[in-house]
Amino acid sequence: MKNRFFISLFIMLITMITLVISCSDIHDEDVVNTEHLKSMKLNGSILEEETLLGDDIYLPKGTYWYYSNEHKNEVVFELPEEYIFLLKNIETGKYILSIEGGGYSCTCGAGGSCTTFHNKDLGYSCLQSSCTGSCTGKASAVLTPNLQIVGVLNAKNTLMDANIIQEKASLSSDGIDGFFEIKEIKEEIKRTYDIIYKYAEKPDFESGIYDKNKYVYAKTLLYGFEIGIIIPNDANLQELIPNLNVSIISDVDAPSSCSCSGGSQGGSCKLEKKGLLGYVAYFCNGCTTCTMS
C-alpha cells in the first residue's frame, strides 16, 4: 500500500511540475509576442494624406499603421482620435462602431505568403512575395477577422449638424446600408425628427410628396455622413434645434440628384432614401465620394 501511495504521489508531482513548466513556456511566449508586437508598432508610419483602402473607403490623414507580424502580410490601423471605424460581422451581418480592430490583410491561396504593401497613389494592396497561388486582400479587423471594415466615420459629429465643413465620413455601399442599422444613429435621427415635429404637422413621408409652402429640405451631417431631412418651413426652428443651420435650407425639391467626385464606381452616384422609424432620410450612394445636390 505504501509503495502504491508513493508511486501515486510521485506521478502527481511530475504532472504538476510539467504543468508549471508548460504554463511558464506559454507565458514566456506571450511576453515575447507582446514585446515583438510593440517593436513592430514603434516602426510604423503615419499617413500624410487620405489613402484608399480597398475600392471604396478612405483612411484619413494622420492614420497610424504598422505591420502586425514579421511576415508583413497584415497591417494594423490606428485612426486619429476624431474618427471611428464602422465594422461588419460577416458571420452575423451585425454592424458596430469601434475605435479599434481596423486592419488590412493579405492571404495566400496556396503555399507561401503574401505581403501587404502601401502606395500613396494605390493605397493598400497585396504583393505575391513567396505565395505560389493568388493573393486576396481584405479590410479586416486584426484580432477578429470576422469583422470587416465598411466605413470610417467622424466620431465627433454625434448630433445631426448642418456644419458642412466638418470632416466627412467614408463608406462603402455595404457601409451605407449598415450606417442606418446602428442604434445610436437611428436614435439620433428619430430624436431630431421628434423634436422638430413635436408641435408641427408631419408630412406624408412615405409618399415623398411635400407641400412646398409648409416644408423645406435641410442637408445635415451625422458622423460625417451627409443626410437630407424634410422639416417645417419655420424660421424659428433654429431655436429648437440650434445645430441645424437654417441658412443652408433650400427648396423642398433640392434633394434631386447626387454627383460623384471620386471612387471606384465612377459616376454611378445616385440619390436614395431610407424609411426610418416613421421618418425618412435622403442620402447618396454609388461611389466613394458623393455629394447631394
Note the pLDDT tens digit of each residue in 112-121. 999 999 988 8
Find out whether 65 and 44 touch, Cβ atoms under 8 Å: yes
Coarse DSSP helix, strand, coil percentages of the chain, rounded to the nearest 5 percent:
25, 35, 40
User: Does residue 6 have a pLDDT over 60?
Assistant: no
- How high is the pLDDT of residue 188? 94
249 and 141, same domain (yes or no): no
238: helix, coil or strand? helix
Asked if residue 76 is part of any domain, the answer here is yes
Q: Which residue has the higher pLDDT, 68 or 41?
A: 68
- How high is the pLDDT of residue 255? 54
Asked if residue 27 is part of any domain, the answer here is no
Q: Which residues partner with 250 through β-bridges? A: 217
113 and 138, same domain (yes or no): yes
Asked if residue 24 is part of any domain, the answer here is no
Distance, CA of 105 to CA of 135 (rounded, Å): 10
User: Does residue 258 have a pLDDT over 80?
Assistant: no
Asked if residue 101 is part of any domain, the answer here is yes
- How high is the pLDDT of residue 31? 39
- Which one-letter amino acid corresponds to residue 147? L
188 and 75, same domain (yes or no): no
Give 254's contacts (C-beta < 8 A, 6+ positions apart): 217, 219, 228, 293
Q: How many domains does the chain have?
A: 2
68: helix, coil or strand? coil
| pLDDT-above-70 percentage for the chain | 72
Distance, CA of 222 to CA of 272 (rounded, Å): 16
72: helix, coil or strand? coil
Find out whether 287 and 268 touch, Cβ atoms under 8 Å: yes
pTM for this predicted structure: 0.79
Find out whether 287 and 266 touch, Cβ atoms under 8 Å: yes
Asked if residue 4 is part of any domain, the answer here is no
User: Does residue 284 have a pLDDT over 60?
Assistant: yes
What is the pLDDT averaged over residues 105-111?
Answer: 91
Phi, psi of 139 (to 5 degrees): -80, 75
Distance, CA of 292 to CA of 238 (rounded, Å): 22
Q: What confidence tier does 208 reach under pLDDT thresholds 50, 70, 90?
A: confident
250 and 282, same domain (yes or no): yes
- How high is the pLDDT of residue 259? 73
Q: Give the chain's mean pLDDT.
A: 80
* Distances, alpha carbon 29 to alpha carbons 35, 57, 94, in Å: 10, 36, 34
98 and 193, same domain (yes or no): no
76 and 146, same domain (yes or no): yes
User: Does residue 21 have a pLDDT over 70?
Assistant: no
Phi, psi of 153 (to 5 degrees): -115, 160
User: Does residue 254 have a pLDDT over 50?
Assistant: no
User: Does residue 248 have a pLDDT over 50?
Assistant: no
Distance, CA of 291 to CA of 293 (rounded, Å): 6
User: Where is mean pLDDT largest: 41-50, 115-124, 140-149, 258-267?
Assistant: 115-124
User: Does residue 48 have a pLDDT over 60?
Assistant: yes
150 and 177, same domain (yes or no): no
Boundary residue ending a domain (130, 154, 178): 154
Task: Give the total residue count for the chain.
Answer: 293
230 and 137, same domain (yes or no): no
78 and 131, same domain (yes or no): yes
126 and 88, same domain (yes or no): yes
Residue found by looking up cell 486576396 in the block: 136
Give 27's contacts (C-beta < 8 A, 6+ positions apart): none
Find out whether 137 and 88 touch, Cβ atoms under 8 Å: no
- How high is the pLDDT of residue 187? 95
116 and 147, same domain (yes or no): yes
Boundary residue ending a domain (86, 121, 154): 154
Distance, CA of 198 to CA of 202 (rounded, Å): 9
Find out whether 233 and 216 touch, Cβ atoms under 8 Å: yes
Lowest-confidence range among 102-106, 205-209, 252-256?
252-256
User: Does residue 181 have a pLDDT over 60?
Assistant: yes
Asked if residue 227 is part of any domain, the answer here is yes
Asked if residue 87 is part of any domain, the answer here is yes
User: Does residue 131 have a pLDDT over 60?
Assistant: yes
Domain housing 99 = 45-154
Give 249's contacts (C-beta < 8 A, 6+ positions apart): 216, 217, 218, 231
User: Does residue 264 have a pLDDT over 60?
Assistant: no
Q: Which residue has the higher pLDDT, 264 or 32?
A: 264
Boundary residue ending a domain (119, 154, 189): 154
Q: Which three cell numbers stand for residue 11?
A: 506521478
Asked if residue 38 is part of any domain, the answer here is no
141 and 178, same domain (yes or no): no
